Structure 1
């Protein structure tokens, strides 16, 4: 009797004292993400991918197996480029060139897994970005099946795709699938941001995406994002995966009909830069160390004119920093397309970069990535508005080096 009474009192004290944390720690957030990344809701009737009920109803098991992964939402993955070309577009050995293809899995390896069939909604297929933690619908809207071989991609305007109620073919409509449990058991499907969609670019493939994980990707029409163009609110950013287009990401009117590829998961963290006081800047999201000023400017103040170089000469400029042991480092190199895009701030324009980088010339800057479709051209990032372009490698442009 006494023990029962004591246990009762202890339970009251425990219940009164223990509270959930006001701010979830990162490990708990990751655990929450994993528990919902490939599972259905646990309320209501369970249905298969067509909406038909599955035997067992609300009492059926709803959780699908999930890998125990730690994600890096703000990090950067490799571009996928493994080949090198000279300024004329002739293939060359990569070793010692400083080109993108010379640095495998830098700064981090690509890791897309899928198509993965949902364990309950068996008509639903997703592809997981195991690095960033984003879950992508394997097929573009209009396509379905493990190989996306059923149907054809359908286009919507951004205006239609973001309408309420969500129309068929929009990301919002996925959240009402399977009796309200959502496509692949998720109800957080949305249009990607421009940086999220650009993270899918694979700079060696045709179309320029991980083709095994995103099969039958139609590249004849660009894909929309949910990123409005700063300064032009009637336009959004789009991404072109064809490899043929001169512009990789560009601005287009919200009324244009575009392909739709949907994503689920947490958005990218805000930009976070620290000036190290020695001519370098640390990106706290990626761990990369950036040259504070463009080539030609004063190292600490960024005063003076930039030096415009060809892509080949830009490699030499970064190598010169190594010889000088600039900022105490000897691992400076020309950044690849994914790395340079990571410091763009699409919320501002002219220049489209954080004020931590002062006196930035609002024009295209060289990357170490080549255009695999036209290897005499190289990929550049515009710091006027954040677009990706591919001019001839002999074009004279600014450059900014990176170290990791």
Structure 2
């Protein structure tokens, strides 16, 4: 188990599962539960501070009541609700915000479900459903990203739909910024960011280095996370099953003993630029042969015969059935030393 201090968190997954979802030994599996890469979770992860909760992993402070608005609301209503909290100095503070998608998703544990939060947690009124982020969907900016606290999925929906709000405050020294720099109306038009409370205004998180990527032959180092990726974003022209993806990485290591692995879902998501779509990668990325969806090594504990995947065209985090030969394999490894 190796800790990466650069910007991707451990997923929380500690068990391993076969294609049918049965628990198996992690040893030699190549799965997330074996490697547990990323920044390790402190114990306890959460500190309750009255009606606030400090996440000791990210440094962010959340409202202990996970549904302070009580009812779902549209996206602009959610932003306005948080602005009203600040005018009222809710819980003694005036710097609450709607979390960006990376902040909101950082709460997710991939070892639990209903809710997908680490256990035990001190939160109250956690709804097993969708919560708004402050991040618009770059490909369709009349939509915004939301996270499902039931199972941990992250997708986007129309800003005229109604979901819940979970305010946050503080700044994380480990979570990277999302890359979003513009702000949008509920119809998707670009608007001035000032006073909007949107991700494009606040741009919270670790600033990306410039250049972000360095290339050495067929390997690309992400200077933001310290991870090394294959420059060619595929290992086969056709889709493969989840076990085939794990086996493809094992064969790659037999060929050059280079320490490659199938990335966990947090490592895959760390590549996403929320200012881009098709693919959702930084505009100056050096990768070639990109595919639409990539397998992670992380099992979905909601349905363990499914595994997590990154939908790279959109930047969404979803799942796929392990036995279906639909997705692709993109190996990663740690920076030497």
**What's the TM-score once normalised by structure 1's chain length?**
0.67
| 1:362, distance to aligned residue in structure 2 (A) | 4.5
| 1:384, distance to aligned residue in structure 2 (A) | 0.6
Partner of 1:264: 169
Q: 1:400 aligns with which of 318, 330, 337?
A: 330
Instruction: Give me the whole-angstrom Cα distance separating, in 2, the residues matched to 1:352 and 1:156.
Output: 27
Partner of 1:99: 31
Partner of 1:343: 271
Partner of 1:55: none
Partner of 2:186: none
User: Which SS does the other structure have where 1:101 is aligned?
Assistant: helix
Q: How does 1:95-174 map to 2 (within 5 A)?
A: 95-104=27-36, 106-111=37-42, 112-117=45-50, 125-142=51-68, 153-163=70-80, 170-174=81-85
Partner of 1:279: 218
Instruction: Give me the whole-angstrom Cα distance separating, in 1, the residues matched to 2:291 and 2:205.
Output: 24
| 1:382, distance to aligned residue in structure 2 (A) | 0.5
Instruction: Give me the whole-angstrom Cα distance separating, in 2, the residues matched to 1:253 and 1:336.
Output: 29
Tell me, yes or no, if structure 1 residue 192 matches structure 2 residue 99. yes
CA deviation string 1:145-185 (max 9, x = no partner):
xxxxxxxx43221111223xxxxxx22233234xxxx3444
Partner of 1:289: 228
Q: 1:89 aligns with which of 12, 15, 21?
A: 21
Partner of 1:219: 127
RMSD over equivalenced CA pairs, Å: 2.1
Tell me, yes or no, if structure 1 residue 230 matches structure 2 residue 167. no
Kindly tell me the number of residue pairs found equivalent between the two proteins.
291
Instruction: Give me the whole-angstrom Cα distance separating, in 2, the residues matched to 1:284 and 1:217.
Output: 39
| 1:360, distance to aligned residue in structure 2 (A) | 4.6
User: Which SS does the other structure have where 1:212 is aligned?
Assistant: coil
Instruction: Give me the whole-angstrom Cα distance separating, in 1, the residues matched to 2:207 and 2:293.
Output: 23
User: Which SS does the other structure have where 1:322 is aligned?
Assistant: helix
Alpha carbons 1:380, 1:388 under 8 Å: kept: yes
**What's the TM-score once normalised by structure 2's chain length?**
0.80
Instruction: Give me the whole-angstrom Cα distance separating, in 1, the residues matched to 2:231 and 2:23.
Output: 32
1:384–1:360: structure 2 CA closer, same or farther, 3 Å change rule? Answer: farther
1:340–1:282: structure 2 CA closer, same or farther, 3 Å change rule? Answer: same
User: Which SS does the other structure have where 1:257 is aligned?
Assistant: coil
Q: 1:313 aligns with which of 244, 248, 271?
A: 244
Alpha carbons 2:66, 2:127 under 8 Å: kept: no
Q: Structure 1 residue runs of 4+, over 6 Å off? A: none
Tell me, yes or no, if structure 1 residue 323 matches structure 2 residue 254. yes
Instruction: Give me the whole-angstrom Cα distance separating, in 2, the residues matched to 1:222 and 1:279.
Output: 39
| 1:127, distance to aligned residue in structure 2 (A) | 2.1
Tell me, yes or no, if structure 1 residue 356 matches structure 2 residue 285. yes
User: Which SS does the other structure have where 1:162 is aligned?
Assistant: helix
Q: 2:148 aligns with which of 240, 243, 249?
A: 240
Instruction: Please say which of residues 91-100 and 283-292 is displaced more in the overlay.
Output: 283-292
| 1:135, distance to aligned residue in structure 2 (A) | 1.8
| 1:236, distance to aligned residue in structure 2 (A) | 0.6
Instruction: Please say which of residues 126-135 and 368-377 is displaced more in the overlay.
Output: 126-135
Tell me, yes or no, if structure 1 residue 385 matches structure 2 residue 324. no
Alpha carbons 1:370, 1:378 under 8 Å: kept: yes
Please identify the structure whose Cα radius of gyration is greater: 1
Partner of 2:189: none
Which structure has more RCO (C-alpha within 8 Å, separation ≥ 6)? 2
Instruction: Give me the whole-angstrom Cα distance separating, in 1, the residues matched to 2:119 and 2:77.
Output: 28
User: Which SS does the other structure have where 1:323 is aligned?
Assistant: helix
Alpha carbons 2:53, 2:123 under 8 Å: kept: no
| 1:89, distance to aligned residue in structure 2 (A) | 1.3
Instruction: Give me the whole-angstrom Cα distance separating, in 1, the residues matched to 2:125 and 2:263.
Output: 28
User: Which SS does the other structure have where 2:157 is aligned?
Assistant: strand
